Amino acid sequence: MLTKYLLSLIFIIVQVYSIQDYRQLVDLHEWYEVKKDTLEIQQKSSANDDNCDQDLLSFQQGLERNEPWAVIFADTWAKIQAGYLSGNTINIGDFDSCVKFEHPITSSRIYKGQHCLVGISALSNSTLEADRTDLSLKHLAKFFKSNGIVSTNGFCMPASCSVAKIIQFLNQNILNENDLGAVGAQCRDMSVHLEPLDYFAIVLFSLFALLIIASTTYELIILKSKHSEPNKLLASFSVYSNGYKLFEITKIKSPSSINCLHGLRAMSIFWIILGHRITNQYPWGNPKDFQAFILGKSIATGIINAHTLAVDTFFVMGALLMTWSTLKDCEKKQLNIPRMIWRRYIRYTPVYSALILAVVSFSKVILQGPFYIEELRASCVKNWWMTLLHVLNYLQQKDMCLNHGWYLSADFQLFIISPFIILMIHKYGKKFLLIPAVLFLATIIYIISISMVLDIAMPAPSASQNYVDFIYFPTHSRAGPWFVGIILGYYLFTIQRKKVDINKFLNGFMWIFTLTVLFSIVFLQLGFSSSTDVIQRGYHITFLALHRNLWAIALCWIIFACQNLKTGGIIRWFLSLPQWQPISRMGLSMYLIGAVYQVMSILNQRVPLYLNFWQLVPILLSDVFMIMILSTITYLAFEAPTLIIEDYIYKKIKNKP
């Protein structure tokens, strides 16, 4: 059953069918003759709806005369379809023909169409007793109510009509008398009205484009002249040098270079792209189909449901690299914590800001499909400042702007506190590793406690809003892998120039054990089922509290073995391939751009997508290709130039006499 939180709900004008004609279209003029008494237009309306009433009346009269324009207009409506009981409740109709429809009524007035999304369900007080084999409008309410159906089909209405008028008209003239009711509506006529913020966005992005062109041209001219080196500030937006650095592939054998991280980051990005495509697709496909898949027992289900573990991989790698760089600065006596935090902030924020501005300003232009959701834009208009301060995962969990950005908020919050912990470890010795160890255990205790108090457990914790609010988004519940990464980073830094040898049998056992843990975490939850048994629920809660942290610990072995033991065979070879480096460098842009691109793609669909291998594979390959292109542009335009400019200004200030 399609839940009411979907704003993209579609209207159905239900024709009279016998069960034998259920999958066939009826002649529209004949249908009108049957229903014209029901479609009488109310003449009493507000002045603002006069044009709407006139257009509805023109349409009614056009159908009476069997005029081609009226028949064509009505033909854009969705019809009754097969498969309601199997979840096939979405039928968009002919969206493009509807929004492009124009017909001159008079010399001064043109009849235009708008595509409306109206949800229809049986009224809660429906008392009709009907033959379940009779699918006429009179009996459809009983069919819907007895089977828990909300029908969501597309319907074309005059562009002059307001949403309130459309709902009123449908309920009063067609639906309520048949025990049906509209549960929500949203209409699109594809007209775009630019606001001051839109003009600002156009000017700003145009300036960035000009900066890129000018900077690239400047650098190429200077390089061609061979008389001097390009000024780093003036060449900061150059596609030539930044592109070279992005796509440069080098084989680094330095002990300070952890090559396997590039492969881990790339694999995590691809995993997230896969998971986001499936989970974001859910509301705009067959709901029963998606529910059966997500709650299924297949290998594909396990892999897709576990895609959120990729974020925990990011936490481990982020903490490891931050610990390494902090200890390195401590050794050189160059530690500058304010600059570390500032540099992290400006690495995230320009890309994030540009994406938010693009969503707020251009989404109404980019989204040319029937599933436009104004709330996608409105949440960013309202909460952009929380997003850019990286506090959204605490202050506004239910109305997030780009909700996948919660990870950046958590990462930045952890980044702020971690240098002080690492500084204490460096200054007072490894006994202070007890700090991240205790904090790691505290996250586990918190998850167990809150799960018991709020009754959160497997197999589908994500179905619980409490899980999202108290476990998934908050930094303090997701910090376990980060603290594991700090411990690993300290250990790897202290032994980077030491030779570490372990017994080959122990090494083999650890690899087998690690891979077993990783695969168990991904697939073990497939065997869970809802239960009120105390022991079973305790097992579920324990898994919920431990699985992300055990995942992080297992990853630590892989990183340690690949980096220091030089073991792992094909796994080490694959993760350390230098070809992963470009994807790894633009991982931030791919993470941010990816989910937005996929949502935009889904909302532009003209037909629902069903879970089918031959449909999903080309879509996923297309996702990866397009996300890489968009991320490359984003990286070259915002991410790389910002860091170059910051570094240039910092060095100028530092060297100032």
Q: What is the per-residue pLDDT for 552?
A: 97
What pLDDT score does 6 carry? Answer: 29
629's CB contacts (< 8 A; 6+ apart) are none
How far apart, in Å, are the Cα atoms of 564 and each of 122, 128, 499, 628?
65, 74, 7, 32
CB 485 within 8 A of CB 422: no
Could you give the CA distance from residue 101 to residue 110 in angstroms, rounded to a whole number?
10
Closest to 585 (Cα-Cα) out of 645, 551, 634, 648: 634
Q: Distance between CA 128 and CA 198 in Å, rounded?
A: 51
Secondary structure class of 502 (helix, strand, coil): coil
pLDDT value for 574: 96
Q: Do residues 167 and 32 make contact, with C-beta atoms less than 8 angstroms apart?
A: no
Q: What is the pLDDT of residue 217?
A: 96
* Token pair in block for residue 301: 């289900």
Q: What is the pLDDT of residue 531?
A: 54
pLDDT of residue 653: 83
* DSSP letter, residue 403: G
CA distance 159 to 246: 48
Q: Are strands 150-158 and 180-188 parallel, antiparallel or unpaired?
A: unpaired
**What span, in angstroms and rounded, lies between the C-alpha atoms of 434 and 4?**
48
Tell me which residues of the chain have a pLDDT lower than 50.
Answer: 1-47, 130
Across 73-112, b (16+ Cβ under 10 Å) vs e yields bbebbbbbeeebeebbbbbbbbbeebbebebeeeeeeebb
pLDDT in the model for residue 161: 87
Provide φ and ψ at 230, rounded to 5°.
Answer: -60, 145
- 638 in Cβ contact with 350 (< 8 Å): yes
- The residue among 454, 444, 514 whose CA lies nearest residue 479 is 444
What DSSP letter does each residue of 107-126 carry, written as one string? SS-EEEEEEEEEEEEE-TT-
State how beta strands 150-158 and 90-91 pair: parallel
Model pLDDT, residue 7: 27
